[in-house]
A and B are shown apart, each in its own frame.
Chain A
Amino acid sequence: MKIWYALLILLTPFYLFAQNNLGPRLTAMGNNGAAVTDVWAIAANPAALCGLKTSTFSLSYTKHLFSNELSTQSFAGAIPFKNNTIGFGLQRYGFSEYNQNSAAFAYAKKFGQFIFLALKINYHQLKISNYGTTSGVSVDAGAIYQLNHQFTIGAFVNNPAKQQYNTKQILTEIPSSFNLGLSYAASQQLLIAATADKTLQQPVSISIGLDYKMFELLSLRGGLSAQPFKQYAGFGLNYRKFWLDMATVYHPQLGYSPQIALSYAL
């Protein structure tokens, strides 16, 4: 059976799965977060980390239901101090014979009240048993501009220098993408966000989603994306400093990918 998973992963364009995991909150909002403050902004737009008021850590696990063995595990953390925030992230995707790992470190800084900028360095590693290991480094940059207390614009470029793995023998690439996002805080309870994402050699993907804090305890989320068409839903439970978030993606061909995360904000 394992050969099938390997084939599936190798033959299907990998961006379908190995996309940066954005954590269950941003995933449930349609996998869009170029202009949303969240600890997982480390993967969506590190400049948005500046919106965090306290140090936050989150651990997430994603299951890809078309296979029993395939999963994504990730960790995100952010520590704000004065006008700066540092963020770090770890991600592991794959199964025993095939692994894609990455580690990221980000530095974000507030310039005045409305402008946040960030730089991020990623270390990628690809491990295929019996074939060996290869690695690569890439650099990302992000910016946030707060128009007013309701509207925020965000831009994030992923690997603009098109850096790749050291080995030329593999086809897998470190993707380069450009993201432009807008978020709208319609009320204290409601956040709506949209992102346009252009990954090189792919059509522009647009996604939209919302996060609705029904009670202090419970938030409901949902989203949609076009090209590829996917539906997203999720919820978050908040108890004091702890958050338990769940999300699922529905892809017409690949089915559901549920995700769970536990977060702690100091």
Chain B
Amino acid sequence: MRFKYLLIYIFIFIALQAKAQSLEEAQIRDILESVAENLPDDYDLSELIEVLGQLKKHPINLNNTNPEELKAILFLTPLQISNFFAYLKENERLIDVLELQSIDAFDTKTVESLLPFVTVNESSAYEKLSFRNLNNFGNHDVLLRAARTLEKQKGYTDLPGNRYLGTPEKIQTRYRYQFETILSVALTVDKDAGETLMGKPVDFYSGNVAIFKLGRIQKLIVGDYALQFGQGLTLWSGFSFGKGPDITGVVKKDLGLRPYNSANEYSFFRGLSATINLFKNITITPFISYRKLDASQQLDSLGNLVQATINQTGLHRTPSEIENKNTLTQQAYGTVIQYSKNDFSFGAIGYQNKFSQPFITQTALYDKDSFTGKSLTNIGLYGNYTYRNIYFFGEAAKSLNSGSAYLGGALISLSPQVSAAILYRNYAPNYHNFFNQAISEATEATNEKGLYAGLNITPNKKWIFSFYGDYFKFPWLKYRINGPSDGYEILSQAVYSPKKTLRFLARFKTENKLQNNDLNTALDVLDQVKREGYRVEINWQLNKTWSFENRIEFSQFKKGNSSSEFGRLIYQDVNYQPPFSKISANMRLAYFNTPSYNSRIYAYEDDVLYSFAFGLYNGKGFRSYFNIKYSLGKKLNFWARYGLFIYQETTTIGTYLDEIQGNKKSEIKIQMRYQF
């Protein structure tokens, strides 16, 4: 009998986990596709789910937690977090995790998804801390990944002048050590495709040692770290979410100081930082960082080295890229003070960047307000407050001697079925900040005003509707927009899941902006540019082993009076995941046809663990990929991926150094993970 119950329990647990994972994955997919246009290729988004992987192993103790810890769980909204602490204050402690269901704004779905990541059991990790335990109970995690494009790209041939000096392999190695929730060590080593290892062991390395919850010291990190505060207007390094079908995503959940675990080579700090509990409710996070950046430098009239911009790609493949590597040093130091009490939290930020060489004005007129000089001081105030069912948030920021920026908004749970978000933003064209990730239509949160309003409706368990509209204005010129301009974006989406194994999705998105017209007139006239996307998607599960996804997407692009062009994408995904099997696999077969790059379509692609990819479908042809995972016991896992593009009606693929002769582009990737 007992055995039977145990089995049932195991099945429920697996089902719950699978569900949590799919909710998480669906959310990441949505977010990725919506930010794809503004992210560079190969952007490492592994940090997004790595946190959750850790939480599964070391669940958060709900009776001894803080808002920052809960913010790491992607699908919790700020209002839910705030309500949770209000509940905890009233009831002192939770006796069972399922008690969460009685808290406002927590629906069954959220609670189910949350279960793997939280607990109510007390145990102080420091009591167990000893050298022997560090070895016995700590988790080591080693991950090796290698990938390359099989066809020869032009940059690897014997070109005179600029060419790729290294090999086409992309290699990444990461090591993580975690002891309960109090100690972690991380090391990431990375070589991009085309980079050479001549004369050095690695091209990029990043690492840190972090200690948590040690008396008054909440966090202490030596090495590479990220800082994320408020709504990202003053101080936010690394990735941040933007507008997406989940409207609550416009409210940023700041995680404060965190270890930096990504392979992106630009947006992080290197040095020392700690979050210390000064008094009750008040924490202080001082930080100091010293690191080198890539910049293309030139001599000014006095013979001094200057630069106009920083190169953020982290690629060091060609002689000029190698020459620009680590040419600029950046020193950053500052402090964040934060007061949080129940439903109110407020913070102040002040920090300074000092560069070894000064920035000069950029040549383009639209960049005339860009940062110049050697030193930049940023200050900012942020806060949030929960009143009944409304979560207010806002941030105001200023770069000293130049512009200011602010944003404010509210997240409202109008009824148990309906939530709404509203956000107003106003960023001056001369607001300067090297760590600004606030919500914006443009890639950078400057030179923009806008009003966003969104609505999520879940009338019952089967339906979810989302809408948002965003109106924005660019007071100063922008790239390819030689005049002040405005535009708007509207998204509406309906998701219908009649049963657990079946899900339909329909989405419509339209975006209208202004852009220079294509005629070379002496005076630039702005043309209306309209981009629309229509998507229909079906997810269905045949049985416990096989599941499928089909999608059809149309894109429309229309500029000025010229006629519309239509792009289309259709694909079939097949997922093979037998329960308790060592092998799982998935594949895609897609056909795409877009008349030009203007009507390109982005779609999320499955990849090896911790590697995220969004496919860019442009041109005409077929796309296929195949992923396979093999588990050799619990500790050792292998992944392999093969992806292929076959284009029609073309003889070369790619541009400049990435050009391939022929109409085929294929990539292989292998990965190994060993946990002990």
Contact = CB atoms under 8 A, between A and B. Distances in A.
Contacts of A150: 459
B467 interface: yes
A231 B418 contact: no
B512 interface: yes
Interface in A211-266: 212, 222, 224, 226, 229, 231, 250, 252
Given A189-B415, A224-B469, A252-B488, A229 B512 contact: yes
Given A192-B418, A212-B414, A222 B488 contact: no
B488 A187 contact: no
Most buried by B among A184, A222, A229: A229
B469 A210 contact: no
A210 B510 contact: no
Nearest to A150: B459
Interface in A59-104: none
B451 interface: yes
Name the prevailing secondary structure of the B interface residues: strand
Interface residues of B, number: 21
A186 interface: yes
B417 A224 contact: no
A190 interface: yes
B28 interface: no
Contacts of A157: none
A198 to B, nearest CB: 17
Interface in A176-218: 184, 186-187, 189-190, 192, 208, 210, 212
B415 A210 contact: no
Interface string B413-456: 01111101010000000000000000000000000000101010
B451 A231 contact: yes
Nearest to A222: B453
Contacts of A208: 455, 467
Contacts of B418: 186-187, 190, 192, 210
Nearest to B457: A192
A229 B488 contact: yes
A130 B371 CA distance: 60
B414 to A, nearest CB: 5
B548 interface: no
A189 B486 CA distance: 35
Nearest to A225: B469
A208 B417 CA distance: 17
B417 A186 contact: yes
Contacts of A190: 414-415, 418
Contacts of B412: 212
A178 to B, nearest CB: 20
B591 interface: no
B459 A186 contact: yes
A194 B422 CA distance: 18
B490 interface: yes
Interface string B509-538: 010100000000000000000000000000
Interface string A32-57: 00000000000000000000000000
Interface in B392-415: 412, 414-415
Contacts of B471: 229, 231, 250, 252
Interface in B121-179: none
B455 A192 contact: yes
A163 B460 CA distance: 44
Most buried by A among B412, B453, B510: B453
Contacts of A210: 414, 418, 420, 455
A164 to B, nearest CB: 31
B105 to A, nearest CB: 14
Given A208-B467, A229-B490, A252-B486, A224 B453 contact: yes
Interface in B468-493: 469, 471, 486, 488, 490
Contacts of A192: 418, 455, 457
A165 B407 CA distance: 50
Contacts of B457: 184, 186, 192
A226 B453 contact: no
Given A222-B422, A229-B471, A229-B490, A186 B414 contact: yes
A189 B467 contact: no
Nearest to B388: A214
A250 B473 CA distance: 13
A91 B453 CA distance: 31
Nearest to B454: A224
Contacts of B451: 231
A224 B491 CA distance: 11
A184 B453 contact: no
Nearest to B468: A224
Contact of A231 (B416, B420, B453): B453
Given A186-B414, A186-B418, A192-B418, A224 B459 contact: no
Contacts of A224: 453, 467, 469, 490
B217 to A, nearest CB: 43
A21 to B, nearest CB: 23
Given A229-B490, A231-B471, A187 B417 contact: yes
Contacts of A226: 469, 490, 510
Most buried by B among A150, A189, A212, A224: A224
A189 B417 CA distance: 12
Contacts of B455: 192, 208, 210
A203 to B, nearest CB: 12
Contact of B415 (A187, A229, A231): A187
Interface in B253-268: none
A224 to B, nearest CB: 4
Nearest to B451: A231
Nearest to B412: A212
Contacts of B510: 226
Contact of B416 (A187, A212, A222, A252): A187
A226 B471 CA distance: 11
Most buried by B among A187, A192, A231: A192
9 contacts: A150-B459, A187-B417, A190-B414, A208-B455, A222-B453, A224-B453, A224-B469, A229-B471, A231-B471
Given A187-B416, A192-B455, 4 more contacts: A184-B459, A208-B467, A222-B453, A229-B488
Interface of A: 150, 184, 186-187, 189-190, 192, 208, 210, 212, 222, 224, 226, 229, 231, 250, 252
- Name the 9 nearest CB pairs between A and B, nearest first: A187-B415, A224-B469, A186-B415, A190-B415, A190-B414, A229-B488, A186-B418, A186-B417, A212-B414
